[in-house]
């Protein structure tokens, strides 16, 4: 049985990551190339950030950045007066797999074997079986593991073993599942009334998430701002206006289909 291709050899971390500029609405960072490329050319870099004091790391670029610098602004979720921690990861052409939560994970493994091998998959040491989320596919010269919509729990080490009468061989790949920042969403409303009414915003008839959602008011305009949208933000958003003359409301429905890149 000939050796088959397995994705291994991640590069070492980029060097000397530092901030080159910081303002209310953006942060610029730069770094130097890693000392080791993992045996394959560096094809770019992924930038991740989290609000300082939390552990919610989010990738801010959808494709590897070619340059040794990056500017993160409001589209990446930067909010004035908050502090952020950045990290940068180099990507080479044979790399550990990083999948955005909610996207498809596909592990294709080419091989050459006669007779056709028995194929088994393990995750974190436990044998895997096909179910309604996990699919296996075998072809004459390749085998595949597919998960149509990844969860954070799908992160881990995957091992595939091929065995026939000539022997066996195996290989591993580490899979990371991370979130993705989406663009800021603004839902505006123009309000009139005499006396001017008190206003209340709700989502699906419940309270807003105060850490990510805020209301901006300017004159007769009220705008609900979702700082960094995620798939769970889909739903019905309603504004209610109340004064001594009565109560009026208006609503809109938001659908979050995927990343806005």
- Enter the DSSP assignment of 2: B
Closest among 138, 171, 148 to 6, alpha carbons compared = 171
Dihedral sign for Cα atoms in the order 200, 203, 205, 210: negative
- Are 151 and 82 within one domain? no
Specify the pLDDT at position 100.
80
Residue at which a domain ends, from 95, 114, 130: 95
Enclosing domain of residue 223: 185-254
Pairwise pLDDT comparison (200 vs 111), residue with the higher score: 200
116-143 confidence digits (pLDDT tens): 899 999 999 999 999 999 999 999 888 9
Q: Are 92 and 41 in contact (CB under 8 A)?
A: yes
Q: Is 35 domain-assigned? A: yes
List the Cα angle 258/93/173 in 5-degree steps.
Answer: 75
Same domain, 66 and 48: yes
* Entry field: residues in the chain: 261
Least confident of 102-106, 192-196, 202-206, 243-247: 102-106
Number of structural domains found in the chain: 3
pLDDT of res. 38: 67
Q: Scanning the structure block, which residue is given the tokens 């010269």?
A: 141
| φ, ψ (nearest 5 deg) of residue 76 | -90, 5
Residue 4 lies in a domain: no
- Model confidence, pTM: 0.44
Q: What is the pLDDT of residues 20-58, one digit of tens each?
A: 999 888 899 999 999 987 666 788 999 998 888 888 888
Mean pLDDT for the chain? Answer: 85
Domain-terminating residue out of 154, 179, 204: 179
2-6, 34-38, 190-194: least confidently modelled range: 2-6
189 with 172, same domain?
no
Q: Is residue 170 part of a domain?
A: yes
């Amino acid at each position: 049985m000939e050796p088959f291709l397995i994705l291994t050899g991640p590069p070492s971390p980029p060097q000397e990551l530092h901030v080159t500029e910081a303002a209310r609405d953006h942060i610029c960072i730069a770094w130097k190339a890693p000392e080791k490329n993992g045996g394959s050319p560096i094809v770019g870099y992924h930038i991740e950030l989290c609000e300082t004091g939390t552990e919610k790391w989010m990738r801010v670029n959808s494709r590897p950045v070619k340059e040794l610098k990056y500017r993160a602004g409001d589209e990446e979720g930067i909010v004035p007066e908050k502090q952020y921690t950045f990290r940068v990861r180099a990507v080479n052409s044979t790399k550990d797999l990083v999948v955005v939560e909610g996207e498809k994970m596909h592990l294709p493994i080419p091989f050459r074997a006669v007779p056709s091998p028995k194929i088994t998959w393990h995750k974190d040491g436990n044998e895997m079986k096909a179910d309604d989320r996990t699919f296996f596919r075998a072809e004459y010269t390749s085998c595949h593991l597919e998960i149509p919509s990844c969860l954070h729990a799908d992160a881990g080490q995957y091992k595939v073993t091929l065995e026939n009468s000539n022997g066996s061989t195996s290989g591993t790949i580490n899979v990371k599942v991370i979130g993705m920042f989406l663009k800021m969403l603004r839902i505006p409303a123009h309000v009139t009334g005499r006396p001017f009414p008190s206003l209340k915003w709700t989502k699906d008839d419940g309270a807003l998430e105060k850490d990510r959602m805020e209301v901006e008011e300017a004159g007769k305009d009220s705008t609900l701002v979702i700082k960094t949208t995620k798939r769970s933000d889909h739903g019905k958003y309603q504004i209610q206006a109340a004064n001594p003359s009565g109560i009026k409301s208006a609503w809109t429905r938001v659908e979050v289909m995927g990343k806005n890149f």
